[in-house]
With several copies, the nearest count.
Chain A
């Protein structure tokens, strides 16, 4: 059985994995780059090892360094989290070769699913419906134009090695084909070290719905129902929920079976996600498989009542799945929002900086998976996501109310975050009604870009607070000898315990 796990990741997911390790009595080992010495995952782990410079390509993505750290620590398994090396077949193989358990699928499954084109073919063989598109990667720009015209505009250009919206471009006009392919290739190279891209037919009014699956090494496979991930900005998910508000029991069952079949087609082992693109009539097409834990896995955990990381570890321990499809149910409704360090008023520009003050939302039905703390400086080298807020309630309506309450109570100062933007999403009629697709953000710009105009009173209250702070600071800076009386006047402001009242 696994006794010590190295988590080849950082941020909230590293901590989330470590929590389950601790509950299982397994030691956790962190790795960190130069930018991450003060990061919470280093502090949270039982052990921590340095793996290189800040840039991920020289640390978190360097297989040799990770393996070295694993050997140094005596870890018998590696959990890759999401991103970084989580879908790197070479890494999966290397772990195997080194006698370290890779908590994730085989290189075969990663390679087959990781290459979107091979995956499409595999799915077609397994009778899983796929989106019309290219059957091989685009090798040059001239060919790109030809291929796009064949599939027919609008199309999506996608990185073969991709995921998470990176290296992805939509093309509507012919004159944008070249620039989009170039940009997608450049981003794909920067993000994945592989610039292969391919083309897919663009589905109108598309919903992004994915199924969580678990497969063991004994031929058992189950799904843990769907997640609705259609609220996206620049193809990046920002709000996820389960159950999907458009799902029916019939389609759910059918899609679930297709999801398990998709995973089985590559002899999958571990936790994975089958992403589907779904139209308004609930026609669905296999989009891709993410051969790892997803950012949004907690909503499934909450509604199904399963710790997915523990399941991953059990499967890696070669144990058969104890969960049975027929015993699994969706209980209530869960929503996750992703909190990014970004400026919603300035085109969602990433906004790294130092956390001055943080108040985390607590209480009934709220889970908060984060990693920042007061005084922590968010590095500019990695993803700007700083935390995830997950709420549960018996009904979708109550879950939305709860999310609004949690967002209201969640305060981070020092950096700009997406919290105000997420709060607005919860109030958009299309979201409240559950009638939305991946165009939700652009379709609802009028709600989402609306500014709350402050009234005089709130402006004055803000001014009063600043003014009182200014006067207190003035007093503190006054030289003792010259004006002791004045000094005590403001410095201890608010420290008196017994007060007169108006």
Chain B
């Protein structure tokens, strides 16, 4: 039973070699580990590896994707099974995602400083969003053209929701 696993952007092979109760021999690429692993709370694993005690907290999104927190680090981990591979193979060759401004968290549109068709310079602020009493200015990195404004002032927005579509400026 061999799988691929993606930790942040790195893909490794992962394979259970042997299991005896909660004692596990497991190989990640060619690195072999003997671990004592147990789920101590929902989503929290205690792992002993050569006596060293690790606490690992998992937050799963869907069946195969995890945010994994160790003491000092946080990893995005994805299990790559046959289905995922198939999906990935189909995906490659497609265009990149459309270019748009979005916010990482929910908030409220305070001010929109541009309208459709505007040309904006790199570094220029296009929208101000308020979340948790802080106002944040969202800027474009390069010179862009405003293709579409999807929200209006006062709107509440979700995290990662496209709010302004951007187009490339023809030189």
> Quick check: B64 and A470 within 8 Å, CB to CB?
yes
Q: How far is the CB of B8 from chain A (nearest CB, A)?
A: 8
A454 at the interface (CB under 8 A from B): yes
> Quick check: B72 and A461 within 8 Å, CB to CB?
no
> Quick check: B40 and A499 within 8 Å, CB to CB?
no
Most buried by A among B22, B60, B70: B22
> Quick check: B63 and A470 within 8 Å, CB to CB?
yes
Query: For A502, what are the chain B residues with a Cβ–Cβ distance below 8 Å?
Result: 23, 34
Question: Could you tell me the distance between the alpha carbons of A49 and B53 in the complex, rounded to whole angstroms?
Answer: 9
Q: A350-B131, A462-B68, A470-B63 are in contact. Are A493 and B39 (CB under 8 A)?
A: yes
Question: Could you tell me the distance between the alpha carbons of A190 and B111 in the complex, rounded to whole angstroms?
Answer: 13
Q: A350-B132, A496-B21 are in contact. Are A459 and B7 (CB under 8 A)?
A: yes
A73 at the interface (CB under 8 A from B): yes
A121 at the interface (CB under 8 A from B): no
Question: Could you tell me the distance between the alpha carbons of A356 and B14 in the complex, rounded to whole angstroms?
Answer: 27
Instruction: Name B's interface SS.
Output: strand
> Quick check: A473 and B63 within 8 Å, CB to CB?
yes
Q: How far is the CB of A476 from chain B (nearest CB, A)?
A: 10
**Residues 10-27 (chain B) with a chain A CB within 8 angstroms:** 10, 12, 14, 16, 20-24, 26
Query: For A37, what are the chain B residues with a Cβ–Cβ distance below 8 Å?
Result: 22, 36, 38, 46
Question: Of B3, B20, B28, B60, which contacts A500 at CB under 8 A?
Answer: B20
B89 at the interface (CB under 8 A from A): no
B104 at the interface (CB under 8 A from A): yes
Query: For A383, what are the chain B residues with a Cβ–Cβ distance below 8 Å?
Result: 132-133
A414 at the interface (CB under 8 A from B): yes
Question: Could you tell me the distance between the alpha carbons of A471 and B43 in the complex, rounded to whole angstroms?
Answer: 13
Most buried by A among B35, B45, B136: B45
> Quick check: A350 and B39 within 8 Å, CB to CB?
no
Q: Which of A217-225, A372-380, A391-399 contacts B (4 or more CB under 8 A)?
A: A372-380
**Residues 341-367 (chain A) with a chain B CB within 8 angstroms:** 341, 343, 346, 349-353, 356-357
Question: Could you tell me the distance between the alpha carbons of A382 and B63 in the complex, rounded to whole angstroms?
Answer: 33
> Quick check: A380 and B132 within 8 Å, CB to CB?
yes
Most buried by B among A30, A48, A374: A48
Query: For B69, what are the chain A residues with a Cβ–Cβ distance below 8 Å?
Result: 411, 413
B109 at the interface (CB under 8 A from A): no
> Quick check: A463 and B28 within 8 Å, CB to CB?
yes
B95 at the interface (CB under 8 A from A): no
1/0 per position for B116-146, CB-CB distance to A under 8 A?
0000000000000011111110000000000
A384 at the interface (CB under 8 A from B): yes
> Quick check: B22 and A496 within 8 Å, CB to CB?
yes
> Quick check: A494 and B39 within 8 Å, CB to CB?
yes
> Quick check: A499 and B41 within 8 Å, CB to CB?
no
A142 at the interface (CB under 8 A from B): no
Give chain B's interface residue range (CB within 8 Å of chain A). 35 or more
- Chain A residue nearest to B23 (CB atoms) is A502
- Chain B residue nearest to A187 (CB atoms) is B135
> Quick check: B70 and A467 within 8 Å, CB to CB?
no
Question: Of A384, A459, A469, A493, which contacts B75 at CB under 8 A?
Answer: A459
Question: Of B31, B42, B46, B52, which contacts A460 at CB under 8 A?
Answer: B31
Question: Of B68, B71, B72, B106, which contacts A465 at CB under 8 A?
Answer: B68
Query: For A447, what are the chain B residues with a Cβ–Cβ distance below 8 Å?
Result: none
B44 at the interface (CB under 8 A from A): yes
A420 at the interface (CB under 8 A from B): yes
> Quick check: A464 and B132 within 8 Å, CB to CB?
no
> Quick check: A466 and B58 within 8 Å, CB to CB?
yes
- Chain B residue nearest to A348 (CB atoms) is B134
> Quick check: A464 and B42 within 8 Å, CB to CB?
no
Q: A357-B43, A463-B7 are in contact. Are A352 and B132 (CB under 8 A)?
A: yes
Query: For A456, what are the chain B residues with a Cβ–Cβ distance below 8 Å?
Result: 31
- Chain B residue nearest to A179 (CB atoms) is B125
Question: Could you tell me the distance between the alpha carbons of A151 and B107 in the complex, rounded to whole angstroms?
Answer: 37
> Quick check: A352 and B14 within 8 Å, CB to CB?
no
Question: Of A46, A374, A499, which contacts B22 at CB under 8 A?
Answer: A499
Query: For B47, what are the chain A residues with a Cβ–Cβ distance below 8 Å?
Result: 461, 464-465
> Quick check: A357 and B44 within 8 Å, CB to CB?
yes
Q: How far is the CB of B36 from chain A (nearest CB, A)?
A: 8
Question: Could you tell me the distance between the alpha carbons of A464 and B54 in the complex, rounded to whole angstroms?
Answer: 12
Query: For B7, what are the chain A residues with a Cβ–Cβ distance below 8 Å?
Result: 459, 462-463
Query: For B104, what are the chain A residues with a Cβ–Cβ distance below 8 Å?
Result: 343, 346, 349, 351
> Quick check: A463 and B77 within 8 Å, CB to CB?
yes
Question: Could you tell me the distance between the alpha carbons of A146 and B23 in the complex, rounded to whole angstroms?
Answer: 58
> Quick check: B132 and A466 within 8 Å, CB to CB?
no
**Residues 314-361 (chain A) with a chain B CB within 8 angstroms:** 341, 343, 346, 349-353, 356-357
Question: Could you tell me the distance between the alpha carbons of A408 and B72 in the complex, rounded to whole angstroms?
Answer: 9
Question: Could you tell me the distance between the alpha carbons of A352 and B79 in the complex, rounded to whole angstroms?
Answer: 27
Given contacts A468-B37, A470-B79, 7 further A-B contacts (CB under 8 A): A38-B46, A349-B105, A383-B132, A461-B33, A467-B3, A468-B45, A500-B21
User: Which residues of B are in contact with A by a Cβ distance under 8 Å?
Assistant: 3, 5, 7, 10, 12, 14, 16, 20-24, 26, 28, 31, 33-49, 51-60, 63-64, 66-73, 75, 77, 79, 104-107, 110, 130-136
User: Which residues of A are in contact with B by a Cβ distance under 8 Å?
Assistant: 29-30, 37-38, 42-50, 72-73, 166, 183, 186-187, 190-191, 341, 343, 346, 349-353, 356-357, 373-376, 380-384, 408, 411, 413-414, 420, 452, 454, 456-474, 477, 493-494, 496, 499-502
CB-defined A-B contacts under 8 Å, sample of 30? A37-B38, A38-B40, A42-B48, A43-B53, A46-B52, A186-B110, A187-B135, A350-B131, A350-B134, A352-B132, A382-B132, A382-B133, A384-B133, A384-B134, A411-B69, A413-B69, A420-B72, A460-B28, A462-B73, A462-B75, A464-B37, A468-B37, A469-B45, A469-B66, A473-B63, A474-B63, A493-B39, A499-B20, A499-B23, A502-B34
